[in-house]
């Protein structure tokens, strides 16, 4: 009894440490998340398994309360509530699938991995240990994903010591020769430091400032410029005309975040604009639940919120190249990336608007996650963030 009480305290403590370290924003530390299935499998009761899951998830997503408070300009209580609510699906899945039968735990954990990676549970499937595949098995692609999945199962079985040594060896080898994903020739992502005004201040002065940034890059020989999420603000015929006119006689394509107002709310999108015109290139598949995506509004017949285009446009075409776009929250999830990888894109482009994450590691985690996925599949990566 006393031994079980010690486990109930120690295992969640180690799970919290694993979640904190793995999701600190340093890509090479992502494999620390592989400690979670070990700790989950060492639990001797469903209650302990639930505590381990909660400790890991809450530590990994620790920046959420502060970020939500900044986003809504409120105190910490709404953020704390959303933080706890977001953890429910992760904890519930892992608690319900825990089993006292040690022989069945690998298969049960595999099922938990699958459920927390795909909708509906995957909608809040942050901090998934499978993300570490890109660090442990860089450029292995789907084989690396399979190897990591097998490793996760092995870590919940009796052969966990051997599996731990094997995975640690691959991790150390990868870290010793680590390089960042390549940026395609002629491409450049532009990070901005415009705070909350980006996307909200869409006046002529701001548009001209962004145009000037793009023109500077064109003068330096860049052919495709990527601007952060919401950079342009509302995408309208007037804004398109302004940009198209400004890019006349310049062989430049600008990809930028924008919003498109619809009768029922709005779409969070990436647009592509050049001297020959502009178009909506990508509609975000998974906006942030709660603050952006509010499906209950339509159930009540009320308009508002961002539309979730859940399984639409996994890849988009730009100049004969297939792009896999990710907007902000999508970088924290598993299924948007894997959805895109099924179509073998040429480039991953990822944008975010993280002004509300100041003082947290959320943007660093997004960058690390996108980097890991790009490395796993050997894809060039272009990033652009506003802070």
pLDDT digits (tens, 9 = 90+) for 197-224: 998 887 899 999 999 999 999 999 999 9
* pLDDT score of 300: 75
Distance between CA atoms of 259 and 106, rounded to whole angstroms? 44
pTM of the complete model: 0.94
What are the pLDDT digits (tens) for 34-64? 999 999 999 999 999 999 999 999 999 998 8
What are the pLDDT digits (tens) for 150-196? 999 999 999 999 999 999 999 999 999 999 999 999 999 999 999 99
Is the distance from CB of 376 to CB of 139 less than 8 angstroms?
A: yes
Q: What is the largest CA-CA distance in the chain?
A: 77
Residue-level length of the chain: 387
What are the pLDDT digits (tens) for 63-72? 887 777 676 6
The model's confidence at residue 73, banded by pLDDT at 50, 70 and 90, is low
* Average of per-residue pLDDT across 90-110: 97
What are the pLDDT digits (tens) for 255-264? 999 999 988 8
What are the pLDDT digits (tens) for 280-323? 999 999 998 877 888 877 777 777 788 899 999 999 999 999 99
Cα-trace Rg, the chain: 22
Distance between CA atoms of 349 and 386, rounded to whole angstroms? 15
Of residues 77 and 290, more confidence is placed in 290
* pLDDT score of 4: 66
- Taking the CA atoms of 381, 244, 387 and 293 in sequence, report the sign of the dihedral they define: negative
* pLDDT score of 290: 78
Distance between CA atoms of 89 and 109, rounded to whole angstroms? 15
């Amino acid at each position: 009894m006393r031994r079980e009480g010690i486990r109930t305290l120690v295992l969640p403590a180690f799970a919290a440490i694993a979640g904190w370290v793995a999701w600190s924003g340093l890509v090479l530390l992502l494999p620390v998340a592989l400690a979670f299935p070990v700790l989950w499998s060492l639990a001797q009761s469903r209650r302990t398994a639930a505590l381990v899951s909660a400790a890991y998830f809450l530590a990994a997503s620790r920046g959420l309360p502060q970020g939500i408070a900044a986003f809504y300009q409120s105190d910490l209580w709404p953020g704390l509530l959303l933080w706890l609510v977001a953890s429910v699906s992760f904890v519930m899945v892992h608690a319900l699938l825990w089993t006292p039968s040690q022989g069945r735990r690998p298969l049960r954990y595999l099922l938990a991995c699958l459920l927390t990676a795909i909708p509906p549970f995957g909608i809040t499937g942050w901090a998934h240990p499978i993300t570490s595949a890109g660090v442990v098995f860089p450029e292995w692609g789907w084989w690396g994903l399979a190897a990591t999945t097998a490793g996760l199962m092995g870590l919940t079985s009796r052969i966990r010591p051997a599996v731990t040594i094997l995975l640690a060896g691959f991790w150390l080898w990868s870290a010793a020769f680590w390089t960042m994903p390549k940026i395609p020739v002629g491409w450049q992502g532009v990070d901005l430091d415009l705070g909350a005004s980006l996307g909200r201040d869409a006046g002529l002065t701001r548009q001209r400032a962004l145009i000037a940034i793009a023109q500077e890059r064109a003068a330096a020989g860049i052919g495709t410029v990527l601007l952060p999420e919401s950079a342009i603000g509302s995408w309208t015929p007037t804004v398109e005309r302004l940009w198209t006119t400004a890019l006349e006689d310049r062989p430049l394509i600008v990809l930028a975040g924008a919003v498109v107002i619809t009768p029922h709310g709005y779409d969070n999108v990436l647009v592509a604009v050049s001297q020959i015109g502009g178009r909506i290139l990508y509609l975000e598949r998974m906006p942030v639940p709660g603050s952006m995506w509010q499906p209950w509004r339509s159930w009540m017949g009320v308009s508002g919120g961002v539309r979730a285009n859940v399984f639409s446009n996994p890849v988009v075409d730009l100049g004969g190249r297939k792009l896999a776009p990710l907007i902000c929250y999508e970088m924290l999830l598993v299924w948007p990336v894997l959805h895109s990888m099924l179509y073998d894109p040429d480039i991953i482009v990822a944008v975010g608007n993280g002004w509300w994450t100041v003082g947290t590691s959320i943007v660093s985690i997004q960058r690390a996650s996108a980097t890991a996925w790009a490395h796993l599949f050997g894809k060039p990566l272009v990033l652009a963030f506003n802070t």
